[in-house]
Amino acid sequence: MQAHERATRSRRRTAGVTVVFTVCAAAFCALLTRAAAADRRGDELTYTNAAGVLRTMHTSGVIDRTNPFFEDLGANGRRCVSCHQPAQAWTITPEELQARFARTDGLDPIFRTNDGSNCEGANVATLDDRRRAFSLLLSKGLVRVDLPMPANAEFEIVEVDDPYQCGGPTAAASVYRRPLPTANLAFISGVMWDGRESAAGRAIRDDLMQQARAAVVGHAQGAPPAEAQLAAIVDFELGLFAAQALDRLAGSLSVQDARGGVRPLAIQPFCIGINDPLKMLPSMPGACAAPSPGLDANAFTLFGAWDHTASPARQAIARGERIFNTRRFEIDAVPGLNGGSADPVAAPIATGTCTVCHDSPNAGNHSVPMPLRIGIADASRRTPDLPLFTLRHKATGELVQISDPGRALVTGRWRDVGKFKGPVLRALAARAPFFHDGSAATLSDVLEFYDKRFRIQLTDREKADLLAFLQALKEPSERGRQ
Ligand code: HEC
Ligand code: HEC
């Protein structure tokens, strides 16, 4: 309720902006030349980029730049915003990082060797050294995450094929991951790609407190900040929403009864398990009070009103939304879902859809904490810039090769190898590359992955429509490639 009132207040203040941008669709080319230029209009932050227009708002009505999120709380000059930039939908992108590197000769605080470089403590004496040392950050926006092997893990690391030969201990693993956005966190059901900052039965808000503490100590190499500062950061994060507001081809995403853009998102209802196909109802604060009735495959209901518009670009987005919701394919052998005896589903799901996993209404993340192995880190997809770990089950001797052990580094369980959470799919705009390891440079690459992995056999037309839809949540610039 409160969120709704606040959003209404914000809407009044910014009504003028909507008009400006609707009219602007025609004059969009002029805007494109101002790459990533930020504009503060009313209480919203608006960024233009080649993709379209990304907009961010806070439910308090103000994006408070004095929040400790923007402050130097540690010892190495890093701030949360160093890796969670508003113009990149609150993460970072290679493009922006390369510009930052050029601007500062690779000396901006994000370029620190505690976790920004491929190897811990890399040599960063000269500009060339730095370009080499931070190559994964610069090429894919990947940050090094060092994780110890959990005590009593069911497996051990027997070999690491490490392109950088960092020479770390095998009692720990260095993996490389994309920063997750710090907006739209009101929808998440687990914190971090591997859920490691989520404790069983704990509220997401408390997980985020712990996460922020760890971020200051880890990324910023500081002392743990005061509880009040952490609470201020978490309140800031939980009220922050970001979404694509304007599409280069379709114009404003919230006209003719469409409900794209950031303001409808900020009042989108959510509780954990809200549209969970398996009705798992995890016992944790914030879970839905009554079991959900099972999957409403129509998880996205933003653009149905555009079915019969005159605009071909809008029709394509509407068709793409329907494909995302209802196009059937078989979901088979996904550990965490139906890939093993411990999994909740025993057989392949013949009537699968994207929304079986991306079920949160109009947000698109998994509404329950349920890390899955869809195969992103599998050896078959490993590129030479990433490490390849060989893991051995201590009892059975079974071997597996994987570029990131994922959830298994949190639980120590063999069956959790390669599992990651299904992230929020809003504000994909301006934040390529995708997946935890940035392995999909574009949304087309994402679709190619799914088409192959689940043998969907999407037609060219279906792919084009799906892209149009995802691009309304993200970059329209890819559409020209179809
Ligand atoms: C050096 C870059 C860097 C800095 C600085 C940084 N983060 Fe992050 N952040 C990341 C990476 C990388 C991840 C994903 C790591 C993973 O999942 O293993 C992440 C994930 C998160 C998430 C998880 C979101 C989700 O959907 O689960 C939150 C919340 C977050 N960061 C908040 C913060 C806060 C608050 C600060 C400042 C105190 C901060 N970050 C500073 C890189 C950074
Ligand atoms: C079996 C569950 C499952 C199905 C089905 C599924 N996804 Fe995913 N999706 C995931 C998981 C898990 C991730 C995170 C994987 C990773 O990064 O390791 C993900 C990631 C993504 C991302 C990247 C988001 C980001 O921030 O990097 C996009 C885009 C996406 N999925 C779109 C789709 C589309 C489109 C479909 C249907 C064709 C689909 N997904 C079907 C589970 C699923």
Task: Note the pLDDT tens digit of each residue in 198-251.
Answer: 999 999 999 999 999 999 999 999 999 999 999 999 999 999 999 999 998 999
Q: How many residues does the chain have?
A: 482
173 lines ligand 1 (CB under 6 A): no
Amino acid code (one letter) for 312: P
Measuring CA to CA, how many Å separate 56 from each of 38, 48, 262, 294, 365? 11, 12, 7, 32, 19
Give the span between the Cα atoms of 346 and 340, in whole angstroms: 8
Q: Atom of ligand 1 at shortest distance to CA of 177?
A: 12
Residue 177 CA to residue 197 CA, distance in Å, equals: 15
Which residue's CA is the nearest one to ligand 2's atom 15? 435
Lowest mean pLDDT across 41-50, 135-144, 201-210, 274-283? 41-50
Q: For atom 38 of ligand 2, which residue has the closest CA?
A: 354
Spatial distance between the Cα atoms of 140 and 179, rounded to a whole number of angstroms: 11
342, amino acid identity: A
- Residue 211 Cβ inside 6 Å of ligand 1? The answer reads yes
88 CA → ligand 2 middle, Å: 20
- Decide whether any atom of ligand 1 lies within 6 Å of the 142 Cβ: no
Give the pTM.
0.92
Q: In this predicted structure, what is the pLDDT of residue 176?
A: 98
pLDDT of residue 1: 31
pLDDT of residue 474: 55
What's the whole-number mean pLDDT along residues 23-49? Answer: 49
- Give mean pLDDT, residues 26-45: 44
3-state secondary structure 304-339: HHHCCCCCHHHHHHHHHHHHHHHCCEEECCCCCCCC
Q: Tens digit of pLDDT for each residue in 87-136? A: 999 999 999 999 999 999 999 999 999 999 999 999 999 999 999 999 99
Ligand 1 and 177: CB distance under 6 A:
yes
**Confidence tier at 161 by pLDDT (50, 70, 90):** very high
Q: What is the pLDDT of residue 51?
A: 67
104 Cα to the center of ligand 1, angstroms: 23
What integer pLDDT is reported at residue 42 of this predicted model? 57
Domain range list for the chain: 2-93+178-376+420-481
**pLDDT value of position 407:** 98
Q: How far is CA 344 from CA 99, 280, 282, 360, in A?
A: 46, 9, 13, 19
What sign for the dihedral angle of Cα 65, 66, 72, 74? negative
Kindly state the average pLDDT of the residues 238-267: 94
Ligand 1 atom nearest to 73, measured from its CA: 38
CA distance 104 to 297: 48
Atom 1 of ligand 2, nearest CA residue: 357
